[in-house]
Structures are given as C-alpha cells and as structure tokens.
Amino acid sequence: MSYILKGETGDWEVVIGLEVHAQVISKAKLFSGASADFGAGPNEHVSFIDAGMPGMLPVINERCVEQAVRTGLGLKAQINKRSVFARKNYFYADLPQGYQISQYDQPIVGEGTLVLDLADGSTRAIGIERLHLEQDAGKSIHDMHGTKSFIDLNRAGVALMEIVSKPDLRSPEEVGAYLKKMRSILRYLGTCDGNMEEGSMRCDANVSVRPVGATELRTRCEIKNVNSVRFVMQAVEYEARRHVDVYESGGKIDQETRLYDSNKGETRTMRSKEMAHDYRYFPDPDLQPLEFDDAFVESIRKTLPELPDDKKARFISAYGLSAYDADVLVSERENGEFFEVVAKGRDAKQAANWVNTNLFAVLNKKGLSIAESPVSAANLGRLLDLIADNTISGRQAKELFEAMVETGKDADVLVSELGLKQMTDTSAIEAAVDQVLAANTEKVEQFRAGKEQVLGWFVGQVMKATQGKANPATCSDLLRKKLAS
C-alpha cells in the first residue's frame, strides 16, 4: 500500500529520514556530576562545566555510555568499541561553551534496524544509520521580562542520544509507526522515557520527493524539533506536497531548515541549512577516544529485556493472537505483563479482547496508565473464570466489569453484592418462558407461521423478566421446545 502524491506531471513518492534526539535516563549529566532530573528551579542543576567556565574539564559519565550501548543492542546495531567525541562549533545562546560536544565520524553505535508494525498487519524494516552521544543545550526564556531574556541551564549538558535513520521511510503513516516503535523500544530498554510532549524525545524530519520510479535523491528540507507524533506526520505530509507543487510549477527546492507551525498546519523557513563543514568539527582535545571491550558490551547484552518484536512473535505463536492484538499488547511493557497474568490458564484470545477493548476503553476515558488500572489483572482473570464456569452471562460480565471499575472491589464480592449470579434453576427460567408466551399469543402465531426472527425477541423478553440472570442459550432452547409443542 504505497503513498503516492498525484501531480499534473505524474506521480511522486516521498522520501523521509528521521533524526530522533532521545534524552538518556541517567542521574547525572553526560560530562558533569550535576543532576539530570527534570523540574528543578531555574539553574539549580548547573556545574561549572555546564556553565562553560574556563579551565573546566569534562569527564564522561559511564552510565550514559552503557545506556547508548544498550540502545544500540536494542536496535540490533553495530556497537563501535572505539568512538570519538568531537566539538561541533556554533553560536548558541543556550550553550555557554560555544560548542556542543557531540560525535561526528566515529559514533558509538553504527548501522541497525527498526521494524515498523503497520496498520494492515504488515511489517517493514527501516535502516538505522547511526546513534551518537551528545550534550543537550539550556533554555532561553524571552517572555518573562519586557526587555531582558533569562537563561536556565538545567538542561545544558544532559546526555542525548541522536538516532539517525536511513532515508527509508515513504509515508506519514510509516513516520508515525517509526516514532511509536522507537519510543516503545527505548521505554522497554529504560534508556529514555520517550515523552515527546515534555521534550525528552524530539524529532527532526528530512523530507524530499521524487518521481515514482526515480532512484536518485532530490534536495531535502529538514523540519526541526517537532514535539508530537501527529505533528511530525502532518509536517511531512505538508512538506512533501509543497515540494511537488514547487517542482511542478518549474521551481527549485533550496536545502534549508524549516519549522512546523501546528496552528497553521504549515512549514516555513527557519534558516538556510548549514553543511557539516560549517560546524568545523574536530576531536575534542579534552576527552580521550571512548574505548571499551567485548566484555563490557556482553555484560549489557545479558540484561536486555524481551523486546517488542520478540514479544509480539511469542504472543502470536503461543497465544494465537492476531498481529493487531499483539501490537497493542506489546507497545508498552506493562500492557504485555498485565495481559499475561490475565491469560494464564485461560482463553488467551478472550483475555486479549477484554484487555484491548473493555479495559483500555476505561483507561483511555479516565486518562490512566495500566499501572493505575482500577481493575487488577488477577481480578479481571477472575471475571473471565466466572464467565467460563457459567456463573455469569456475557451481559452480566459487562455489568460486573463496570462495577469493578467504579468500586475497585473483587469480582467475587461484587457478584454476591449485586446478585449477579446467572439463573441455573431451569424451572425458574421455564416459568418465565411460560409467562412470556402466554402474554404474547400474537407473536407465538407469527413464529409458528414461519417468522423465525421472533425467537430473538422472545429471548429478550425472558431475559428482561429474569433481570438478565437467565442464560440466553437455555432460554432459547426452552422457547424452541415450547413453541414447537
């Protein structure tokens, strides 16, 4: 299912590469001991290094190196046991050093792969070009004073992983799937919390278009720092269309950096794009090349959790789930764990169905995460048991579930409190059937004249007469028997 842009002169395809800046989960910054925590007062987490004081020397934080290697392993990427920190020189008001310590031609992680899970159940592998470590910048505040700007350096020097994809993406949908999958992998690994709204995961999109069938890449534009998955998708869509329109009206695309305005739904020029040589990269003389051995990499590999792709494959083969259900359940580690508690020793498809539809509907409505679910996994499992042993009907199960959500009480407690037990006494159901038939002789005639669908109506009436406690299948059997006689 390819994404094609129609033009006057023919069909166009879009070529997209993404750069994700992911804030590393660590206690301290990349080259200083200052706290990397979010939410402190202005400039409370700033060391002399972060403030760019002369004579200060950076010292690498081993934890950040581990996190980068861990992420590389999660992306099935090549781990470079020797990498080099480089200075990227540019004037940036939020970075007092006057340069950013980054990595250039020798990054810590090389080529890897990320698998997209698409809406139609298909998958597609996207190449990862590299992952490198670098410092984040601080934050200028321009709206607190009429004539002055303020600066908060808490974030200056916090470790970022810049993860660059190959230009393998071909549609806004794939861009969305890529970012969701990246976020999911980072969260499984515990290397980044993936929160785009709070800026701990930021995305730049490189976009170009070319006629369908062409193989060369055309000039690209980079859309900077978009802060939600939806906005990146919208920005890409807008930008691709803009390129097609420019080419078709005989114009030319200039390589530049653009901003996405989500209010207007359009991108606009921010600055003409710098080339790598503009930054005058050179190895940082304050830092040794970063070197580690196989044992270091293996010690990290041993601690990797089961990642979304493997978990999805297992859920499909072991539980017989559809690709879609498995995708939903593995997107967050906690979802999969919850599901497995519910499914253990029970009908797994039914368990997946209850978690993915009934439970998630409630959580979405209440804005809760699965960890905050008012219904525990064990308790939801108990509800499924009550359906399985015919204590409650499917309809009663819904009622019970709502009560569990509202009260947080156990399934068994609520079944007796609400009197939800299904009627197992056939004579009581029979009495209700007789009553309903006697009161509706007209409908009885209709049924006997061949109008089969009346049966469903009768079942509904008997259910109503028994306050929903009768088993619908039993009602239906009894009704048929009586109507035939």
Cβ of residue 103: shortest distance to Mn ion, in angstroms? Answer: 10
Nearer to Mn ion, 50 or 162 (CB): 162
Question: From residue 309, how far is each of 16, 124, 179 by CA, in Å?
Answer: 23, 12, 15
Q: Is 50 near Mn ion (CB under 5 A)?
A: no
Phi, psi dihedrals of residue 235, rounded to the nearest 5°: -60, -40
Enumerate residues 261-290 that contact Mn ion by CB under 5 A: none
Cβ of residue 162: shortest distance to Mn ion, in angstroms? Answer: 4
Cβ of residue 21: shortest distance to Mn ion, in angstroms? Answer: 6
Binding characters for Mn ion, 111-150, by CB under 5 A (x = yes): ----------------------------------------
Cβ of residue 157: shortest distance to Mn ion, in angstroms? Answer: 14
Cβ of residue 204: shortest distance to Mn ion, in angstroms? Answer: 8
Nearer to Mn ion, 275 or 295 (CB): 275
Half-sphere exposure for 375 (CA within 13 Å, toward CB): 28
Query: Hey, how many other C-beta atoms are within 10 angstroms of the C-beta on 143?
Result: 7
Partners of 256 in beta bridges: 272
**Do residues 330 and 322 make contact, with C-beta atoms less than 8 angstroms apart?**
no
Cβ of residue 134: shortest distance to Mn ion, in angstroms? Answer: 5
**Do residues 168 and 126 make contact, with C-beta atoms less than 8 angstroms apart?**
yes
Distance CA 56, CA 265 (A): 44
Q: Which residue minimizes CB distance to Mn ion? A: 162
Nearer to Mn ion, 79 or 161 (CB): 161
Q: Is 162 near Mn ion (CB under 5 A)?
A: yes
Binding segment (CB under 5 A) for Mn ion, from list 157-165, 291-299, 386-394, 449-457: 157-165
Distance CA 314, CA 311 (A): 5
Binding segment (CB under 5 A) for Mn ion, from list 71-79, 155-163, 181-189, 237-245: 155-163
Nearer to Mn ion, 162 or 173 (CB): 162
Cα 325 to chain center, whole Å? 14
Nearer to Mn ion, 162 or 284 (CB): 162
Cβ of residue 131: shortest distance to Mn ion, in angstroms? Answer: 11
How many residues of this chain bind Mn ion (CB under 5 A)? 1
Nearer to Mn ion, 162 or 327 (CB): 162
Nearer to Mn ion, 162 or 309 (CB): 162
Binding segment (CB under 5 A) for Mn ion, from list 156-164, 212-220, 317-325, 390-398: 156-164
Q: Is 204 near Mn ion (CB under 5 A)?
A: no
Nearer to Mn ion, 182 or 343 (CB): 182
Cβ of residue 335: shortest distance to Mn ion, in angstroms? Answer: 31
Nearest one of 460, 389, 466 to 425, comparing CA atoms: 466
Nearer to Mn ion, 232 or 351 (CB): 232
Binding segment (CB under 5 A) for Mn ion, from list 154-162, 241-249, 265-273, 471-479: 154-162
Cβ of residue 396: shortest distance to Mn ion, in angstroms? Answer: 56
**Which residues sit at the interface with Mn ion, rule CB under 5 A?**
162
